[in-house]
């Protein structure tokens, strides 16, 4: 997982159990203290405790790092930082990291990586998230009482693996669901409400059957010749939405949905996802499990995950 030129620093000195902390800032400072005492940072005299505190605090202010399920991943990207340093803490009592599901964190991983290589943070976060999503793995982490044993388990299950970031790692839950029999007027209202350029059409059991884009809706009812015009200066009386209003009152989602949407399995790689979005110019990638839609990925989400991590 770690780039060849980057050395991973993680051992039992960076595993903290039963850490007393009233809030996330206290917990983060305990973890940073452990990092500053580790030889990995002693070899980088330009790095100060205050520099790390400022970097982690800045990241926390930008976006909450609680990933849900009782897991949080605070981190910092430091210019010209040498290596990858990971500290894992189990607080004495759960600490609020403002996760979307509202669950406070019982397991916290703090990581410092080079600013120039954010993909290291993304891969490591993905591997930790996979472990935390596994009930057995999560309970093992919470039950181990020895720092050495917990260090070995995390190294084996997370840091020792070399796996690609997948669709499941970066997808988000769909913001809306459209049934094939949804009236077109309701489709447009739903897309407006959630500011969606494209929305998936699914059966009641979650089977993905189509996609509706704002581009397709905008062109409904327009004659073919209209899209070929270079100028409209000679047209005086033409309402481009006349046919739309005549038709939309009785139209349903299935009447306008397209079938050439992009669907990928949850183990699809980041490269496959970017190819569909950037090269094939798909509006969204729908993530499927057994034919059922479980998530969605668009360009902004990829940029946020990869660039703004």
Give me the DSSP letters along 144-196: ---HHHHHHHHIIIIIT-----BHHHH-B--S--B-TTSBHHHHHHHHHHTT-
Say what the pLDDT of residue 1 is. Answer: 43
* Domain residue limits, the chain: 8-162, 184-306
Say what the pLDDT of residue 4 is. Answer: 43
Asked if residues 96 and 118 have their Cβ atoms less than 8 Å apart, the reply is: no
Say what the pTM is.
0.67
Residue keyed to tokens 């202010």: 61
Instruction: Name the burial class of residue 297, with classes exposed (0-12), middle (13-18) and buried (19+) by CB atoms within 10 angstroms of its CB.
Output: buried
Q: Tell me, which fold does domain 184-306 have in CATH?
A: CBS-domain (3.10.580)
DSSP designation for 266: T
Rounded to 5 degrees, what are φ and ψ at 73?
Answer: -135, 65
Q: Tell me, which fold does domain 8-162 have in CATH?
A: Mannitol-specific EII; Chain A (3.40.930)
Q: What is the separation of C-alpha 205 from the centre of its chain, rounded to a whole number of angstroms? A: 25
**Identical topology for domains 8-162 and 184-306:** no
Segments in the chain below pLDDT 50? 1-5
Q: How far is CA 234 from CA 8, 230, 239, in A?
A: 68, 11, 14
């Amino acid at each position: 997982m770690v780039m060849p030129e980057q050395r991973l620093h993680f051992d039992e000195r960076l595993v903290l159990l039963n850490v007393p902390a009233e809030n996330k800032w206290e917990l983060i400072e305990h973890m940073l203290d452990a990092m500053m005492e580790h030889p990995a940072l002693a070899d980088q005299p330009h790095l100060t405790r205050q520099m790390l505190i400022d970097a982690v605090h800045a990241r926390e202010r930008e976006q909450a790092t609680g990933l849900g399920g009782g897991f949080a991943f605070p981190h910092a990207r430091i210019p010209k930082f040498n290596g990858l340093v990971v500290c894992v803490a189990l607080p004495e009592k759960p600490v609020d990291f403002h996760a979307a599901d509202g669950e406070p964190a019982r397991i916290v991983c703090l990581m410092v990586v080079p600013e120039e290589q954010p993909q290291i943070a993304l891969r490591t976060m993905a591997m930790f998230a996979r472990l935390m999503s596994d009930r057995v793995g999560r309970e093992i982490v919470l039950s181990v009482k020895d720092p050495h044993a917990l260090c070995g388990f995390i190294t084996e299950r997370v840091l020792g693996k070399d796996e690609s970031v997948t669709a499941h790692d970066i997808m988000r839950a769909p913001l809306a669901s459209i049934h094939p029999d949804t009236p077109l007027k309701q489709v447009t209202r739903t897309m407006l409400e959630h500011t969606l350029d494209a929305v998936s059409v699914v059966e009641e059991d979650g089977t993905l059957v189509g996609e509706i884009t704002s581009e397709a809706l905008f062109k409904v009812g327009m004659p073919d010749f209209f899209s070929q015009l270079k100028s409209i200066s000679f047209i005086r009386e033409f309402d481009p939405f006349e046919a739309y209003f005549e038709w939309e009152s009785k139209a349903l989602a299935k009447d306008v949905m397209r079938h050439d949407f992009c669907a990928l399995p949850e183990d699809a790689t980041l490269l496959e996802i970017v190819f569909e979005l950037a090269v094939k110019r798909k509006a969204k990638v729908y993530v499927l499990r057994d034919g059922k839609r479980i998530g969605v990925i668009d360009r902004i989400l990829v940029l946020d995950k990869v660039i703004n991590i």
